[in-house]
C-alpha cells in the first residue's frame, strides 16, 4: 500500500519557481528521503501534500485520499515538523504541547514526558526563553506526541547538536518499527544516507532521480584517486563514465560509473605510482547527478 502518491503534482508561482510534474510514491512503513539544495522545491512539495497550499494542476493522495478534498481528515494522522518553528512566546512548553495534544482527543502526557526526557527539554520553561535548538525540540515533540501514522519532516535537524540529532534519529527509527511511515526532506545528504530506504532527488522543481539508497551506492560507482610519476595529461582520463575529474599536479581524482575492468584497462598506459579505489558517499554521487546538464 502507498501512503503517499503523487500524479504530475504541479504548483506554479508564475515566473517564480514552484514544482512541475512531481511523481513519486511512498510505501507504508518506508523511510523515504527527499533531497535537494535550498530552493529546489522540497518545501513547496510538502506544503502541497499537506494542503497548506493547493496544486495548480495534478494531484496527490495520502492514505489513498485526495489531499485537497480530505485535508483536515488526513492531517489528524500526520506529524509535521516544518523547517522553521514559531510559537506563542509567553506559553510554557508543557502548556503548548498539552494544547497541541488536545486536538487529537487522547492522553499524550506520558509520551510528552518521555520525548522531553530523550530530547533533554525542560517542559516548564517559557517558549520565549528557549534557544533555536530547544524550540526545534519542541517542534519534534509536537510532531511525534500523537503517534502519527505518517511523519513528514522538512529540514528537521537544523539547530540540533550532534547528540540530539542522534537521539532524534533513534526516536524516528523507533516510530518506524511501530509502523510509522517517514518522509524525510533534507539537503544534508549524510542524514538521508543513514536513515532512508529510498530517495528522490529534486532539482529546480523537478524530480531528476528516484532510487534505492543501496542502488545509488552499489558497485557501479567507484571513487578513484591516482598518483602519477609525472604530470598527467588530462586527456588520458577523458573516458566514458568518468565524472568529477580533477587533475592537480601529480594527483588525479574522479568518480567512475561503469565496468571497473574497462577503466583499469584504459588507464593502464598511465605511469602510476599509487592508486586508491573507494566507494563514494551519497553526497559525491548526488553532486554528480545535480551537476549534470538538463
Mean pLDDT value across the chain: 90
63 contacts 76 by C-beta, under 8 angstroms: no
215 φ/ψ angles, rounded to the nearest 5 degrees = -70, -40
> What does the pLDDT read at residue 291?
64
Instruction: Give CA 250 to chain center in angstroms.
Output: 37
- Looking at per-residue confidence, does 14 or 201 come out higher? 201
Res. 272: pLDDT tops 60: yes
Strands of 150-154's sheet in order across? 78-81, 150-154, 181-186, 31-35, 198-203, 206-212
Average pLDDT, stretch 49-73? 95
What's the confidence (pLDDT) of residue 220? 66
Collect contacts of 110-115 with beta carbons under 8 A, ≥24 apart.
111/144, 111/145, 111/146, 111/147, 112/141, 112/145, 115/140, 115/141, 115/144, 115/145, 115/171
Instruction: Give the pTM.
Output: 0.82
Express each pLDDT in 37-52 by its tens digit: 888 899 999 999 999 9
**Residue 46: predicted pLDDT:** 96
Please check whether the domain covering 218-291 is classified as CATH 3.10.450. no
Backbone angles phi, psi at 119, to 5 degrees: -90, 5
| All structural domains of the chain with their residue ranges | 2-215, 218-291
pLDDT tier for residue 221 given thresholds of 50, 70 and 90: confident
- So what CATH class is 2-215? alpha beta
Amino acid at each position: 500500500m502507498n501512503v503517499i502518491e503523487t500524479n504530475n503534482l504541479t504548483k506554479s508561482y508564475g515566473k517564480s519557481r514552484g514544482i512541475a510534474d512531481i511523481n513519486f510514491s511512498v510505501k507504508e512503513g518506508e523511510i523515504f528521503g527527499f533531497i535537494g539544495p535550498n530552493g529546489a522545491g522540497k518545501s513547496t512539495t510538502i506544503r502541497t501534500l499537506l494542503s497548506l497550499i493547493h496544486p495548480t494542476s495534478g494531484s496527490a493522495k495520502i492514505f489513498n485520499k485526495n489531499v485537497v478534498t480530505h485535508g483536515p481528515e488526513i492531517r489528524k494522522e500526520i506529524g509535521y515538523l516544518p523547517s522553521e518553528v514559531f510559537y506563542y512566546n509567553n506559553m510554557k512548553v508543557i502548556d503548548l504541547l498539552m494544547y497541541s495534544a488536545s486536538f487529537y482527543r487522547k492522553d499524550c502526557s506520558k509520551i510528552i514526558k518521555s520525548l522531553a526526557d530523550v530530547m533533554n527539554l525542560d517542559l516548564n520553561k517559557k517558549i520565549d526563553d528557549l534557544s533555536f535548538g530547544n524550540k526545534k525540540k519542541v517542534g519534534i515533540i509536537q510532531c511525534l506526541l500523537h503517534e502519527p501514522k505518517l511523519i513528514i519532516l522538512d529540514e528537521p535537524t537544523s539547530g540540533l547538536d550532534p547528540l540530539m540529532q542522534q537521539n532524534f534519529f533513534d526516536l524516528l527509527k523507533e516510530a518506524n518499527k511501530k509502523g510509522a511511515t517517514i518522509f524525510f526532506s533534507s539537503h544534508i545528504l549524510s542524514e538521508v544516507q543513514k536513515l532512508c530506504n529510498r530517495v528522490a532527488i529534486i532539482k529546480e522543481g523537478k524530480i531528476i532521480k528516484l532510487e534505492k539508497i543501496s542502488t545509488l551506492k552499489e558497485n557501479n560507482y567507484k571513487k578513484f584517486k591516482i598518483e602519477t610519476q609525472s604530470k598527467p595529461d588530462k586527456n588520458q582520463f577523458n573516458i566514458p563514465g568518468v565524472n568529477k575529474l580533477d587533475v592537480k599536479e601529480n594527483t588525479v581524482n574522479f568518480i567512475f560509473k561503469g565496468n571497473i575492468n574497462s577503466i583499469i584497462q584504459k588507464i593502464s598506459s598511465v605511469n602510476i605510482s599509487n592508486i586508491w579505489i573507494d566507494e563514494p558517499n551519497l553526497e559525491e554521487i548526488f553532486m554528480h547527478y545535480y551537476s549534470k546538464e538538463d
